[in-house]
Structure 1
């Protein structure tokens, strides 16, 4: 499946002499063996070996093709105007998090992990971060209800803390925004 292009009007990149050589080899191979599926890694190795053993005289044909393609590319780039940066399907920018915003609340599972992670590390020092997470997940699935309820209570308490802090934070932001509007209004009166 082809990759999505950021700009459909942008000229196709220029090809090297080696790229033309590989393309020619592939076409020759398809003519000789039309029904055969090509394993690219093996085919690529054979092409590379063949390219290394070729003389400069044999490579000249492909170097001329590359020179013509360079002229084509340079000409197309001279007449190319990039599309608007906002157009197309690019990556969404990650929102910048306010460092003053309150930290999110932790789930019961994360409270459990905070308590048990040290024990798992001590018991299995060879474990990777992923292995530790798998072990903690397995333990959480097997933990008794009384232990789970303890961590769920911690999660509820932390959720209440987050909601309090978040409401206060939003009020503070709203107050600052209103102050800025008042200052703008004062400037208009003068």
Structure 2
């Protein structure tokens, strides 16, 4: 689907690897090339936590209940605390924390709906919000230890199965998740 200014709203690709940290330059390259080659994809994220072993075939039923909103608020607060305490907050233009109704490690043989969700971090660098890039882990804007602390804190939130890191530039993706 295309908005009036040519933004697209399409699928997300989650990349995973057994190597940690991954080669962030390679991940950034893939985040640029995948949407150019696969026109039905406009976001590319790295999924922390090792290889995703099975294809995701369903979503976690999610409604904007007080519990779901509280989970997202807790996650956003934890990520913001780590960003601020590390001194990196002034280097990042914006960092949405997004709750996805997807359990990436769910056993496909289970028939009962999952109650696990994933979180996406979108630390973004831009001067004008018309274009921009993800703050690459391991860079001055987002040191690897800060990313690791965020991931560890977010994995302590009940109901969270994975943390992802959005590496997609703008365009094709919007700054925020809509």
Same fold (TM over 0.5): no
User: What TM-score, normalized to structure 2?
Assistant: 0.20
Q: Which has the larger radius of gyration?
A: 1
Give the structure with the larger strand fraction. Answer: 2
User: What TM-score, normalized to structure 1?
Assistant: 0.19
Give the structure with the larger helix fraction. Answer: 1
